Every structure is written in C-alpha cells, then in structure tokens.
Amino acid sequence: MPHSVHPLSSLDTPAAIVDVARMQANISRMQQRMDTLGVALRPHVKTSKCIPVAQAQLAAGARGVTVSTLKEAEQFFEAGVTDILYAVGMAEHRLPAALALRQRGCDLKIITDNALSARAIAAFGRTHGEHFEVWIEIDTDGHRSGIKPEDAALLEVGTALHEGGMQLGGVLTHAGSSYELDTPSALEAMAEQERAGCVRAAERLRAAGLPCPVVSVGSTPTALSATQLQGVTEVRAGVYVFFDLVMHNIGVCRTDELALSVLTTVIGHQTEKGWVIVDAGWMAMSRDQGTRKQKHDFGYGQVCTLDGEPLPGYTVIGANQEHGIVAAATSAGTDVAAQFPIGTRLRILPNHACATGAQFPQYHALSPDGGLQAWDRAHGW
C-alpha cells in the first residue's frame, strides 16, 4: 500500500494500533484450544480494558470475563457483561461497591485467600442479606497470593465462607511464574503443576463436605502449554489477545501474531551515534522492559515499518518521557537520517501489552481493508 494513502498516515502520534485480523486470530486460537481441552475460557480483560475487544472474545465463545479492578467490573457490566470474576483478593473497604454491583444484577464473583477476609466478607454479606459468591485463591507456584493446596487454612477459609452463609463457588489459581520459563517442557510441567494443585485444593474442600463447583486456572503461557486439564472447569488468560515480546520470548507466539503496536514519528537524529529520535517515549511504551531478563532483550520495543514488518536489529534502546531512541548495534556512523528521514512513521512492538495499552485512552483498530476505528479503553480505578 503506498504510504500516501496508508490508513495510519493521518493519526497523531504516538498512537496505539490494534491489528484486528491478528487479534481475531489470537482470540480464535485460544478459544479453539480451550474447546479442545474441554474447558470454558474466561478472558482477563485487564489487558485491553476495552469493550470491543471483550465483545470479540465473547462472540468467539468465551464465558464471562475476569477483571483486575471493580472499575473494570463496572465498565463491563454497563456494557452488558454480567458474568464477572474480580480476581484480586477482596479488600473489606470494597465490599459496598461489590454489593452495589450484585444488587444491580451483576453476577460478580469475588475472591479471598485468608480467613480474616473471608469472615469479613461473610459478616458484611449477612448484614446486607447478600450471599456473595466467593472463590478461594490457591497458590500453586509460590508466585504471589493464595493458600497452598495442602494448607490447613484452605478448609478454615472454606468453612468460614460456607457456614458464614456465602456461596463458596470454587477455587482459582494463577501460575504467574510461567512468565519466567521459556521451553515447551518447562511450560508444560508448570501447566500441570497449576492444574494438579488447583484440582487437589478442590478435592480437599469436597472431601470436607464443602461445595467447590468451579476449578479455574490460568495464565497465557500455561493456557497455551497444558496438554490436558482434567478436573478444571475454566481457564483464565489475558495477554494472549494481543500477545507481546515477553510472550514471544517465552515461546508461545511468533512476532507476526503481535496485535498491538505503537505508531510513532521520527523527529530527529544523532547520526554519529546512529540514533533515530522518535516521539514514542516511556509515556507511550510504558517503562516495562520485561524482555531485559529474557533470552532476547528488545529494549523498549522492536521497531517495525509502517506496515508492521520488523526491522531486524532496530529496537528502542532508550526512552525519556516523550522521546524514544531507536538504534541498532550496527547503526552508529551509518546514514540513519537517510534511512529514517524526519517524518518517517514506524511501529513499535511492546514488551508488555497490558502495560503499553494502559498508557493510551484509546486504541485505533486497523482492519485488513484499511478501515480504522477508535476503541476507548479505561484508565484508573
């Protein structure tokens, strides 16, 4: 397509571009995998915080969404999504907001991993005549929150909820340490560790006479690596919808599957150093440099042509708030001003789609026919 009629020529920069065809392929890929494994998919919308993206996921077969804040819960409920899991340990001061959502008809589930919080939820629920649906968070990999599958606290928490009049809906886990892996065998083993630990927790609750209908596991890497999910009812995953360079380094996607890029304009050069100065700094890319500790360090992002073709070796090697420094190991002393003239538009693939997307009030969704649509996303709490 000639640059003079390129659909991305008229946007201001920096801009967050979603390649809709790639996004749809990512959505289909994950949905089909979950269908094959016999589980439901509950996408984590914290990655996009964008109604059209979630609608595409739901249209493809996803059942409900996962959110990381009650602001997202309100955003998606107002857009007509009722099956919402708020997957961060419930803070007591947020119970009134959760109650309000449920009273408005939102089928909101909340989570806990400790007895104090479980009892607070139950007490508040009884006071307000509300049988909150609560899932217990399980720690299957030492990554963050949760109760270990064999811990006595699991039954204590389950009992506090069930006998406290709440609806014990199930267990969930998130093997976030999967982000530190990069071989298929290690990922497959972690997926199995995640599954087995969560299923074990469910079995212990049931053996104690407590209800545990849902068994929810997931991260994008384990979702794409599990070979069987016996005992699991649903999988949660977020970043797959766009993928990113961290996911590429982990090994679960190719760079041509990355659906989010930042459109930027060349505004200057430092030719002796082989630097191309662009208007995408850390405010646009975010400060996430997750690839730095992985097999391939992409700096603040992989530089591509306006059509999205990677320019091998060119990354954003440094960033200030509104300036990015593009260079390659071999670019010092080359004629970067001729290769990347002032005004050239480039696209940058991000380290971490969840972080980069958050820097923008909206995405620009680019369709294969060249059509562009503005898709708003949420910011804040």
Name the site residues for a second copy (rule: CB under 8 A): 12-15, 46, 68-69, 88-94, 97, 113-114, 116-117, 120, 139, 142, 144-145, 176, 265, 267-270, 273, 277, 279, 282-283, 286-289, 320-323, 325, 341-343, 352, 354-355, 358-362, 379-381
State phi, psi for 316 to the nearest 5 degrees.
-85, 105
- CB closer to a second copy, 285 vs 366: 285
- Minimum CB separation from a second copy for residue 218, in Å? 14
Strands 65-67, 83-86: parallel, antiparallel or unpaired by DSSP? Answer: parallel
- Minimum CB separation from a second copy for residue 358, in Å? 6
Give 224: exposed, middle or buried? Use CB within 10 Å, 0-12, 13-18, 19+.
Answer: buried
- Minimum CB separation from a second copy for residue 125, in Å? 17
- Minimum CB separation from a second copy for residue 112, in Å? 9
Are 195 and 141 in contact, with CB atoms under 8 Å apart? no
Between CA 340 and CA 307 the distance in angstroms is 15
- CB closer to a second copy, 80 vs 343: 343
Give Dmax over CA atoms of the chain in angstroms.
73
State phi, psi for 17 to the nearest 5 degrees.
-105, 125
- CB closer to a second copy, 187 vs 353: 353
Tokens 């998919």: give the residue: 41
- Minimum CB separation from a second copy for residue 49, in Å? 10
CA neighbours closer than 13 Å in the CB half-sphere of residue 184: 2
- CB closer to a second copy, 216 vs 289: 289
Query: What length is written for the chain?
Result: 381
- Minimum CB separation from a second copy for residue 228, in Å? 27
- Minimum CB separation from a second copy for residue 114, in Å? 6
Between CA 268 and CA 37 the distance in angstroms is 51
State phi, psi for 177 to the nearest 5 degrees.
-70, -10
- CB closer to a second copy, 110 vs 253: 110
Please report, to the nearest 10 degrees, the dihedral formed by the alpha carbons of residues 83, 76, 19, 380 taken in order: -130
- CB closer to a second copy, 24 vs 288: 288
- Identify the CA nearest to 381 among candidates 69, 51, 66, 48: 69
Between CA 299 and CA 292 the distance in angstroms is 7
- CB closer to a second copy, 144 vs 206: 144
